[in-house]
Amino acid sequence: MRLLAPLTLTAACLLSTPLQAQENVLNLYSSRHYQTDEALYSGFSKATGIKLNRIEAGEDPLIARIKTEGAASPADVLVTVDAGRLWRAEQMGLFQPIESKVLNERLPANMRTPDGQWFGFSARARVIVYNKVSVNPADVQNYEDLANPKLKGKVCTRSGGHIYNLSLMSALIEHLGEAKAEQWAKGVVDNFARAPKGGDTDQIKGVASGECGVAISNSYYYVRLMKSDKPEDRKIIEATGLIWPNQKSFGTHMNVSGAGVIKTAPNKAAAIKYLEYLASNEAQSYFANGNNEWPVVKGAPLNNRELASLGNFKMDTLNISALGKNQPAAQKIFDRAGFK
What pLDDT, on a 0 to 100 scale, did the predictor assign at position 301?
A: 86
Nearest to 84 by CA among 27, 12, 15, 166: 166
Q: Rounded distance, CA 41 to CA 191, Å?
A: 44
Q: Rounded distance, CA 213 to CA 158, Å?
A: 14
Q: Rounded distance, CA 245 to CA 141, Å?
A: 5
In sequence order, what are the beta bridge partners of 235? none
What pLDDT, on a 0 to 100 scale, did the predictor assign at position 19?
A: 35
What pLDDT, on a 0 to 100 scale, did the predictor assign at position 6?
A: 36
Query: What does the DSSP assignment read for 209-223?
Result: HTS-SEEEEEHHHHH
What pLDDT, on a 0 to 100 scale, did the predictor assign at position 23?
A: 62
Q: Rounded distance, CA 283 to CA 229, Å?
A: 26
Q: Phi, psi at residue 214, to the nearest 5°?
A: -140, 160
Number of neighbours of residue 222 by Cβ within 10 angstroms = 25
Q: Rounded distance, CA 64 to CA 8, Å?
A: 19
Length, in residues, of the chain: 340
Express each pLDDT in 227-251 by its tens digit.
Answer: 999 999 999 999 999 999 999 999 9
Mark the ranges of the chain whose per-residue pLDDT is less than 50. 1-21
Q: Rounded distance, CA 24 to CA 44, Å?
A: 12
Q: Rounded distance, CA 326 to CA 90, Å?
A: 14
What pLDDT, on a 0 to 100 scale, did the predictor assign at position 22?
A: 52
Encoded amino acid at 271, one letter:
A
Buried b (16+ CB within 10 A) or exposed e, 287-306: bbbbbbbbbbbeebeeebee
Encoded amino acid at 321, one letter:
S
What pLDDT, on a 0 to 100 scale, did the predictor assign at position 59?
A: 87
> Which CATH number describes the domain made up of 125-252+321-337?
3.40.190.10
Q: Rounded distance, CA 2 to CA 65, Å?
A: 13
Nearest to 44 by CA among 298, 222, 271: 271
In sequence order, what are the beta bridge partners of 155? 192, 214
| Greatest extent of the chain over all pairs of C-alpha atoms, in Å | 66
- 2-122+254-307 carries CATH number 3.40.190.10: yes
What pLDDT, on a 0 to 100 scale, did the predictor assign at position 288?
A: 83
Q: Rounded distance, CA 97 to CA 94, Å?
A: 10
2-122+254-307 with 125-252+321-337: one CATH topology? yes
